[in-house]
């Protein structure tokens, strides 16, 4: 009897992947090649699981690590890094990319309790036009 109970408990535990394992499966699900997914820095923070995933793209090459958050079975994947500097007169699509990136950054900071790495200087927002405008407003 004792052996049967221990065996049942062991088999029950083997089937349980835990929150990190479940989150990795969810994060890999929508990737181009889920079986190629490699994870790092994956941790549980309260009800969220945060981490980074890298997988092969349509060309068969690894695309680079992207941050992800899994909360209540929903995956939030880091959007593409904006391809151009945030400045006056930029396209609506580029503005939307910046908004999505900033939204994700805020969620990452709140849920995962850390900051995303800084963008390269070439992509930092150009605020020179704001500074010029502010100087013109002073009497």
Query: Quick check: is 134 in a domain?
Result: no
pLDDT score of 116: 63
Query: Quick check: is 90 in a domain?
Result: yes
- Rounded CA gap, 57 and 21, in Å? 22
- Rounded CA gap, 104 and 44, in Å? 18
Query: Quick check: is 10 in a domain?
Result: no
Structural domain that includes position 96: 17-121
How many domains is the chain built from?
Answer: 1
Judged on CB neighbours under 10 Å (0-12, 13-18, 19+), 50 is buried
Query: Quick check: is 96 in a domain?
Result: yes
Query: Quick check: is 132 in a domain?
Result: no
Which residue would you say has higher pLDDT here, 136 or 31?
A: 31
pLDDT score of 34: 93
Query: Quick check: is 42 in a domain?
Result: yes
Digit-coded pLDDT (tens) for 4-48 = 433 333 333 334 579 999 999 999 998 999 999 999 989 998 889
- Rounded CA gap, 97 and 82, in Å? 6
Digit-coded pLDDT (tens) for 48-61 = 999 999 999 889 99
């Amino acid at each position: 009897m004792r052996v049967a109970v221990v065996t049942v408990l062991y088999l029950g535990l083997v089937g349980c992947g835990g929150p990190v394992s479940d989150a990795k499966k969810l994060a890999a699900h929508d990737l181009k090649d889920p079986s190629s997914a490699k994870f790092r820095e994956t941790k549980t923070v309260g009800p969220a699981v945060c981490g980074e995933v890298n997988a092969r793209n349509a060309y068969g090459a690894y695309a680079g690590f992207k941050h992800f958050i899994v909360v209540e079975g929903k995956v939030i994947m880091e959007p593409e890094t904006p391809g151009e500097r945030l400045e006056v007169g930029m396209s609506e699509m580029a503005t939307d990319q910046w908004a999505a990136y900033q939204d994700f950054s805020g969620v990452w900071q709140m849920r995962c309790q850390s900051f995303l790495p800084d963008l390269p200087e070439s992509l930092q927002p150009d605020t020179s036009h704001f500074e010029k405008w502010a100087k013109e407003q002073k009497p």
